[in-house]
Amino acid sequence: MIQLKVNEADQSFNGDPEMPLLWYLRDVLGLTASKFGCGVGLCGACTVHVNGKATRSCVTAMRDTAGKEVTTIEGLEKDGLHPVQKAWMQINVPQCGYCQVGQIMQASAFLASKKKPTDHEIDDAMSGNICRCGTYQRIRAAIKAAAEEMA
Amino acid sequence: MSAIENVSRRRFLAGGAIATGALVLGVHYYPKLSGGDKLRHGSNADRAILHPSVYLGINPDGTVWIVASRSEMGTTSRTTLPLVVADELDADWKRVKIEQAIGDQRYGDQNTDGSHSIRSYYEVMREAGATARFMLIQAAAQEWGVPAADCQTDLHAVVHRSTNRRAGYGELARAAAKLPVPKKEDLQLKAKSAWRYIGKGDVSYDLEALVTGKAIYGMDARADGMVYASVERPPVLGGKVKSYDDKEALKVAGVRQIVPIDPFQAAPAFQPLGGIAVVADNTWAAFQGRKKLNISWDNGANETYNSDQYKNQLRATSHSPCKVVRNVGDADAVFAKGGAKVHQADYYVPLLAHAAMEPLVALAEFKDGKAMLWAPTQNPQAAQDIVSKELGIAKEDVICNVTLLGGGFGRKSKPDYVAEAAVLSKKTGRPVKVVWTREDDIKFDYYNAVAAMYMKASVGAHGKPTAWLQRSVFPPIPSIFDVNAVYGDPGHLQQGWTDIPYDLPNLRVENGPAKAHVRIGWLRSVANIYHAFAIQCFTDELAHAAGRDPLDYLLDLIGNPRTIDFKGVEYPNYGASMEAYPWETGRLRRVTEMVAEKSGWGKRKHGKGTGVGIAAHRSFLTYVATVVEVEVNDQGEVRIPRVDMALDAGLVVNPEATRAQFEGAAVFGASVVRSGEITASNGAINQSNFQDYPVARINEAPYQTNVYIVENDAPPAGVGEPGVPPFVAALCNAIFAATGKRVRDLPIAKLGLS
């Protein structure tokens, strides 16, 4: 039996401990905001926070989540929108939107520890998250806008 | 056509496919199911009190329902078309609710491809809005006993000008519903000066849902009692299962059932590929079970296909005379005469995969002889067609719900994956969600065709061509419907090939045969990618050979403003009339001059690892010119600091969405140039995921793309695709300017620029 917290709620799991966190969130808990994109940690669409750190849930086995606190975008902000989400709307970042949950989770974890990121630091932090629609220049602009808002 | 009950009047647009004028009195408008006794679920627009069009309904509380009949995959058409309705209706956008249409022929064509949603539905949407506005004005005038001519609409209300009396749309809806639907000729469309939304545009209706994770994609669809399936498909196209052992797979916890799927009957079209499906309690268990299957395959005839050899075959074909698809003057006579300088070049673009961020996925429930689908599809009516064939039921008994699409790029126009889900639901008696892995998505695509282009020009004074020959050879898309199709069809030869826009005295355009060994399909801008690459890079080669500025040379070849005469050429013009959408070289000139000016062409530095390149191209009726700046370091790494794009797409309804599409097209094009390549060995695709089919990441994409939109009242043209082709060519021309190395084979990952 694996005990963990998901969006501050206690959960327990007694299925296959090798099952990636992504499928537990999506198929077992029905939290479908975190997306399946590649299954091998190459695209970032599945990014969630585990103990506050941006983590690829598609390659994180349930056995490694025991005792951890998992936050998905459903639990990112209790009231209203997180500053990163607000910036994403202000800059009108999404096109199809499928990767954007992962982008936002990656960016929000990054900005929690980096107050005034440079272009280079943003590219470094975000280069694991693919957007096939090609919204990258807006992602960069939105991260800067959110950083100012959070400052 | 569908049956209609109690409809006071209906009419069809020219062409007959689109019903726009069914006013329903008290009873709702539904197509009848084939069984005849049960109503199919209609839309909220259908159920509204005032419902003068299948696209629109108004309730007494003032809510306006607008139906989005086209699929949303990121182009914002789900928002932009309803904005047109709302504008003509003079509706308050805040009181508009958009609902997604199911697949239904009463909406006309729903295949969201070819960059034509706005082009084909702009007038239809205006009429829908204007029809309701007309009826609301009539209703108010009757109520007040004044002439309708003395009334007008304000935001969401009708106003009597002299008395300032005012009634909201909601309070007028009931009375308006009792009036006859006006004839198209009686409608008065708003003057441009009165437009509220057209030309101003807006962000996506779904924006907040997209940033909160509340948006529902095909991957997120759920049904009670649903099980999950993953399919092991024949690795070679046309292959079949010889035998299989599922003992180990069935031992995997959560695996419920192993289900074979029949192979397709050639040609493949949109049929499932066949194979062995693992059905399980969750996606992970299905994936794990699949790994434990032991299958022996009969690979069939395509086992001999190797992409390296195939490339040589295409090239060899392109070096001999082929089928002439356009001819001006006598290029051969000029070449035969000799004496002039002759340039020749071979260009090559490999197979490309779509790799939308949402892998293919579909949910189907077959029950009581009817199928309910939930799919991220660009083409719900095609999904109905293939599912009805596969299940042996009537098309009317297939309901296709369209979710949001996590990208499409043309792949999701082909509903083989939806058919798989339906077949599996029938076989298991449960709702089944088929989830493709990324590996499946890349290995079982309908690829953009691999293409070889041979270019030859004889040049005279100022390096200007006196004769021009171009041959392209590629396996054509019609091969998925007809195994014997080997020549390019007019619909794809028009894409930047037969319509080479240069003013040339002697021109011959040819196309050679190529047999397909994989499924070929549409990918964002399709044949324009390889055709524009060859023509626009060869133009740059000729400019440099003549020691001329590439911009001046390009403008010289485009020549004076004129309308291209396609006499003797089969030129479909993207399905649009030549009268409404003539091929005007003046518009191509204009965007070229505009992008040159905006980008500071001529003032930008060249050489020593830095360079700018230019290209111009018309596709999907839109004229685009692009300037790309690159930096190439000593390690051969390419950085793209700046891109400038100028476009003339006629009337642009949503400039914000249009800018986003062109920014995205630059990134899509960067992926094509950098690393886009699918190869095959012994008939099986070699690539599998983003490690061997990389797409551009944030640090590889253009850093800044500036988009300039020409103001033009010409009829609207496409914006989703036209940004890609000239970007690809301009980037390669910029690489030459920076390094002196000519890119003739894509992708550059293999080129070695260091």
Q: For residue A96, which amino acid is it?
A: C
How many alpha carbons fall within 13 Å on the CB side of residue A118? 2
The arithmetic mean of pLDDT across residues B583-597, rounded, is: 98
- Percent of chain B past pLDDT 90, that is, above it, reads 93
What is the domain count for chain B? 3
B73 touching A (Cβ < 8 Å): yes
- Residue B695 has its nearest CB partner, among A72, A126, A130, at A130
What are the tens digits of pLDDT across the range B512-522?
Answer: 999 999 999 99
| Predicted pLDDT of residue B11 | 29
Mark whether B198 and B319 lie in a shared domain. no
Mark whether B186 and B224 lie in a shared domain. no
The arithmetic mean of pLDDT across residues B50-79, rounded, is: 97
Instruction: State which of B435, B454, B479 marks the end of a domain.
Output: B435
Residue B151, pLDDT > 90, answer yes
Closest CA–CA distance from residue B423 to any residue of chain A (Å): 22
Mark whether B573 and B710 lie in a shared domain. yes
Q: Which residues lie below 8 Å from residue B339, measured CB to CB, with a gap of 6+?
A: none
What are the tens digits of pLDDT across the range B309-320?
Answer: 999 999 999 999
Task: Please report whether residue B67 resides in a domain.
Answer: yes
Q: Which residue has the tokens 């079982």?
A: B444
Phi then psi dihedrals of residue B714, to 5 deg: -60, 160
Contacts 24+ apart (CB under 8 A), B190-196: B190/B87, B190/B88, B190/B90, B190/B130, B192/B713, B195/B87, B196/B86, B196/B87, B196/B90, B196/B93, B196/B155
Mark whether B287 and B319 lie in a shared domain. no
| Predicted pLDDT of residue B17 | 31
| Predicted pLDDT of residue B753 | 82
Residue B491, pLDDT > 90, answer yes
What are the tens digits of pLDDT across the range B219-253?
Answer: 999 999 999 999 999 999 999 999 999 999 999 99
Could you please report the per-residue DSSP string of B42-64?
Answer: --HHHHSSEEEETTEEE-TT--E
| Predicted pLDDT of residue B24 | 27
Q: Which residues lie below 8 Å from residue B389, measured CB to CB, with a gap of 6+?
A: none
Task: Please report whether residue B175 resides in a domain.
Answer: yes
Confidence of residue B560 (pLDDT cuts 50, 70, 90): very high
Instruction: State which of B435, B456, B486 marks the end of a domain.
Output: B435
- CB atoms near residue A58 (< 10 Å): 28
The H-or-E segment that residue B554 falls in is helix B550-558
Mark whether B398 and B545 lie in a shared domain. no
Residue B26, pLDDT > 60, answer no
Domains of chain A: 2-75 (3.10.20.30), 83-150 (1.10.150.120)
- Residue A37 has its nearest CB partner, among B215, B288, B357, at B357
The arithmetic mean of pLDDT across residues B160-167, rounded, is: 97
Angle at A41 between CA A1 and CA A144, to 5 degrees: 110
Confidence of residue B750 (pLDDT cuts 50, 70, 90): confident
Domain that holds residue B222: 218-301+360-435
| Predicted pLDDT of residue A92 | 98
Task: Please report whether residue B29 resides in a domain.
Answer: no
Q: Which of B731, B355, B717 is nearest to B529 (CA)?
A: B731
Q: What tokens does B274 get?
A: 């066949």
Q: Which residues lie below 8 Å from residue B75, measured CB to CB, with a gap of 6+?
A: A95, B117, B657, B661, B719, B720
Distance CA B427, CA B234 (A): 20
- Closest residue in chain B to residue A36, using alpha carbons only: B358
The arithmetic mean of pLDDT across residues B441-448, rounded, is: 98
Q: Which residues lie below 8 Å from residue B12, measured CB to CB, with a gap of 6+?
A: B18, B19, B20
Residue B378, pLDDT > 80, answer yes
Are A3 and A12 spatial neighbours (Cβ–Cβ below 8 Å)?
Answer: yes
Distance CA B150, CA B359 (A): 56
| Predicted pLDDT of residue B456 | 98
Task: Please report whether residue B16 resides in a domain.
Answer: no
Distance CA B749, CA B739 (A): 15
Given strand B227-232, what is the order of strands in its sheet?
B255-261, B275-280, B227-232, B432-435, B361-367, B370-375, B398-402
The H-or-E segment that residue B65 falls in is strand B64-68
Please judge whether A40 and B703 are an interchain contact, meaning their C-beta atoms are less than 8 angstroms apart: no
Q: For residue B664, which amino acid is it?
A: G
Distance CA B144, CA B133 (A): 17
Task: Please report whether residue B4 resides in a domain.
Answer: no
- Percent of chain B past pLDDT 70, that is, above it, reads 94
B409 touching A (Cβ < 8 Å): yes
The arithmetic mean of pLDDT across residues B391-412, rounded, is: 97
Three-state helix/strand/coil letters over B226-275:
CEEEEEECCCECCCEEEEEECHHHHHCCCEEEEEEECCCCCCCCCCCCCE
Mark whether B691 and B634 lie in a shared domain. yes
Residues belonging to chain A: 151
- Residue B695 has its nearest CB partner, among A15, A32, A132, at A132
Please judge whether B656 and A16 are an interchain contact, meaning their C-beta atoms are less than 8 angstroms apart: no
Mark whether B671 and B563 lie in a shared domain. yes
Coil, helix or strand for A135?
coil
Confidence of residue B754 (pLDDT cuts 50, 70, 90): low
Mark whether B72 and B139 lie in a shared domain. yes
Low-confidence ranges of chain A (pLDDT < 50): none
Give residues 345 to 404 of B whose Cβ lies within 8 Å of A. Answer: 355-359, 404
CATH number at residue B160: 3.30.365.10
Are B178 and B25 spatial neighbours (Cβ–Cβ below 8 Å)?
Answer: yes
The answer to whether the complex's ipTM is over 0.95 is yes
Distance CA B747, CA B289 (A): 36
Task: Please report whether residue B539 resides in a domain.
Answer: yes
A118 touching B (Cβ < 8 Å): no
Mark whether B465 and B413 lie in a shared domain. no
| Predicted pLDDT of residue B605 | 74
Mark whether B496 and B406 lie in a shared domain. no
Distance CA B474, CA B583 (A): 25
- Residue B217 has its nearest CB partner, among A42, A81, A98, at A98
Mark whether B222 and B346 lie in a shared domain. no
- Closest residue in chain A to residue B282, using alpha carbons only: A27
Q: Which of B391, B79, B408, B12 is nearest to B218 (CA)?
A: B408
Q: Residue A28 gets which letter from DSSP?
A: I
Buried-state track B64-75, b at ≥16 Cβ within 10 A, e below 16: bbbbbbbbbbbb
| Predicted pLDDT of residue B622 | 98
Task: Please report whether residue B630 resides in a domain.
Answer: yes
Mark whether B277 and B142 lie in a shared domain. no
Residue B41, pLDDT > 70, answer no
Q: What tokens does B501 get?
A: 């826009």
Helix B416-428, helix B380-391: angle, nearest 10? 40
Distance CA B136, CA B89 (A): 9
Three-state helix/strand/coil letters over B158-211:
EEECCCCEEEEHHHHHHHHHCCCCCCHHHCCCCCHHHCCCCCCCCCCCCHHHHH
Q: Which of B608, B585, B701, B600 is nearest to B644 (CA)?
A: B600
Please judge whether A16 and B254 are an interchain contact, meaning their C-beta atoms are less than 8 angstroms apart: yes
Does this model's pTM top 0.80?
Answer: yes
Confidence of residue B751 (pLDDT cuts 50, 70, 90): confident
Instruction: State which of B188, B212, B236 marks the end of a domain.
Output: B212
Task: Please report whether residue B36 resides in a domain.
Answer: no
Q: Left if phi > 0, otherwise alpha if psi is -120 to 50, otherwise beta: which for B16?
A: left
B562 touching A (Cβ < 8 Å): no
Please judge whether B666 and A101 are an interchain contact, meaning their C-beta atoms are less than 8 angstroms apart: no
